[in-house]
Amino acid sequence: MNVNQVHISEVGPRDGLQSIKSVMPTEKKFQWLEALFAAGLEEIEVGSFVPAHLLPQMADATEVVKYAKSLQAGTVLALVPNLKGAQAAISAGVDKLTIPVSASEAHSLANVRKTREEMIQQVAEIIQYKNTVAPHISVEVGISTAFGCTLQGTVPEAEVIAMAVSLAAVGVDEIGLSDTTGYANPAQVKRLFKQLYQELGPRAGAAHMHNTRGLGLANCLAAYEEGVRTFDASQGGIGGCPYAPGASGNVVTEDLVFMFEAMGIKTGINFEKLLEARKILQAALPQEPIYGMTPEAGIPKGFNING
């Protein structure tokens, strides 16, 4: 991927939907996914394989994966927290697994009830299983709380990079950094991604930024300037970790696409079709706030953002 092109991975159907109270009907998920792929998104995180009683929003993950695969439109990605989840996701037919591993010990224990070392071992077991039954599937890890943690506060940068190196050693294909709690700032983003590239080279993965404190796009641009070319985003900015009152979580896909395209950096996404997908999202979740500055303001005169 060249300097004038980026890859945007849509995480709304998983990270977005599992973080809100409403449960989107399965049929509406199908419509939304079809519209997102039609807009030009080449990778979509469609669900997570966790117990339904813990996350009823994801109870239909198997059905959603199978439908997304039937569209034959792009990479179908699912989150798995453990080996059992990975087995279910692989059986459903995913193209790619993403595994949550926290740089914060406190967050790791609260989120998955495992220490950081236990999670790395779990990742190794998932990869071993995957290599045996479905070697074509790729595995990514977005290191969560890489920029700070609401439970323990500061997360030492050296520990983040050491974890990335350990994950690469057990066979993870891509290792990115996630601003789970919206703590990151552009200077910090540049430092950490620079170190990540120095240690991992081409295995350095996506920037997963949140807009909790209004720095989501600035942090994405900082990551881009350090060589990152893959970015997670959520349509309408749904989900994420909106701990600050009134603030949204994930970076808004529509705003991220506009920023890059306005800079002459291609995303491959048709903006008008992206807005059509947004209408499906809004209609399916009428009680949920949907964010985004560009959809509200519109595209400036003279701009042609059609992928």
Domain boundaries, the chain: 7-297
Tokens of residue 220, six digits: 């994405």
Instruction: With cut-offs at 50, 70 and 90, classify the pLDDT of residue 184.
Output: very high
Give me the mean pLDDT over the 189-216 stretch.
96
Share of the chain above pLDDT 70, in %: 95
- pLDDT attached to residue 170: 98
pLDDT for 245 beyond 50: no
Neighbours of 214 (CB within 10 A): 11
d(CA 178, CA 43): 17
Q: In b/e form, how buried is each residue of 264-287, taking b as 16+ CB within 10 angstroms?
A: ebebebbbebbbebbebbeebbee
Instruction: With cut-offs at 50, 70 and 90, classify the pLDDT of residue 244.
Output: very low
Give me the mean pLDDT over the 93-115 stretch.
89
Instruction: With cut-offs at 50, 70 and 90, classify the pLDDT of residue 86.
Output: very high
pLDDT tens-digit readout, 253-285: 999 999 999 999 999 999 999 999 999 999 999
- What residues are labeled active site? 241
Give me the mean pLDDT over the 107-113 stretch.
79
Instruction: With cut-offs at 50, 70 and 90, classify the pLDDT of residue 304.
Output: confident
Q: In b/e form, how buried is each residue of 24-37, taking b as 16+ CB within 10 angstroms?
A: beeeebbbbbbbbb
Q: What type of residue is 212?
A: T
Give me the mean pLDDT over the 174-185 stretch.
94
Instruction: With cut-offs at 50, 70 and 90, classify the pLDDT of residue 107.
Output: confident
Collapsed DSSP state (helix, strand, coil) of residue 303: coil
pLDDT for 199 beyond 60: yes
Instruction: With cut-offs at 50, 70 and 90, classify the pLDDT of residue 50.
Output: very high
**Counting beta carbons within 10 angstroms of the beta carbon of residue 186, is it exposed (0 to 12), middle (13 to 18) or buried (19 or more)?**
middle
Instruction: With cut-offs at 50, 70 and 90, classify the pLDDT of residue 5.
Output: very high
Instruction: With cut-offs at 50, 70 and 90, classify the pLDDT of residue 3.
Output: low
- pLDDT attached to residue 282: 97
Give me the mean pLDDT over the 232-238 stretch.
96
Q: Does domain 7-297 match CATH 3.20.20.70?
A: yes
pLDDT for 247 beyond 60: no
Sign of CA dihedral 141, 97, 215, 239: negative
d(CA 257, CA 263): 10
Mean pLDDT computed over every residue of the chain: 93
